[in-house]
Amino acid sequence: MERLIEYLKKNGIPFAENKKASEFTTFRIGGGCFTVYPASVSELTGTVGCCVENGIGYTVIGCGSNVLFPDEGYGGAVIMTQSVNGVRAEGELIYACAGAPLHTVCRAAYGAGLSGAEFAYGIPGSLGGAVFMNAGAYGGEMKDIVGSVTAYIPSTGEIRTFSADECGFSYRHSAFEDNGAIILSAVLSLRRAERDEIKALMDDLIGRRKTKQPLNYPSAGSTFKRYPGRYTGQMIEEAGLKGYAVGGAQVSEKHAGFIINKGGATCKDVLTLIDHIKNVIREREGIDIECEVRLIR
């Protein structure tokens, strides 16, 4: 880590040596981490390159949603993209950097009179994270609007642009989960619409979220992927697990598809609860449900 610290100091890139993951994740869980805050694409790629060159483990995150860090912390570098967040509209396209929050991207689209991204309004994540996992809601997915993605290849130091087809999108998955490339930005292809119509849809979807989801508690978002032909949250509710808790982690009483941090939840609490839910569903339904939240090790 000393060589990384030397690099960061030399290039004026901010960092913190023991920032708790509970301070920068939406789950509010996790121990101390070495966190880095690049302010540009060159600082981001340079930091990743330094980690690779010196054999330092790293993970790149945006808004800290959909992730769970260990109670003992993370031994590598956590590279935060929150300051690499430019967004602009041009014609029927939105150009957005990886760290841009989805609500910022959606508002930019609305301001430009562009429709197609409304489904993402209210998803608590960054543009990069949303592309990485092909985030979706209310019948829409990132694959529906992504035209291309620019990413950094750590193994070669190359920056290249991936077409939509090369992104390998499938349900809550993209090629970037497998190929190790670091998403830097994306171009979203939208369509013209009346701003009043766009706003009405955004307002409707955010209203549904507030009504149905436990937004008043820390969580990583939806905990499990949808099982083909089934609603996973409904199966969990039918199994009588609403409100079931392990330590400070609880199956939301408002929406069984969410595990929430009721207060003082640990990573171990969440993982134990996830395993219990999966075992119960396996015994009742004869199927295996898959966790959507990424455990950072």
What does the block give as tokens for 192? 């013209």
**CB of 217 closer than 8 Å to CB of 262:** yes
Angle between helices 2-11 and 41-53 (to 10 degrees): 160
The 3-state secondary structure of 61-115, one letter per residue: ECCCCCEECCCCCEEEEEEECCCCCCEEEECCEEEEECCCEHHHHHHHHHHCCEE
Nearest partner of 261 among 274, 251, 276, judged by Cα: 251
What is the bridge-based pairing of β-strands 182-189 and 93-97? antiparallel
Are 134 and 170 in contact, with CB atoms under 8 Å apart?
yes
Report the C-alpha gap between 64 and 47 in whole angstroms: 19
In terms of Cα–Cα distance, which of 63, 52, 48 is closest to 13? Answer: 48
Q: For residue 84, what are its two tokens?
A: 């690499």
Q: Residue 169 corresponds to which tokens in the numbers above?
A: 């999108």
First to last CA, the chain: 17
By the 8 A CB rule, do 95 and 139 touch?
A: no
Question: Which residues are known catalytic residues?
Answer: 172, 222, 292
285 residue type, one letter: E
Element (H, E) at 183: strand 182-189
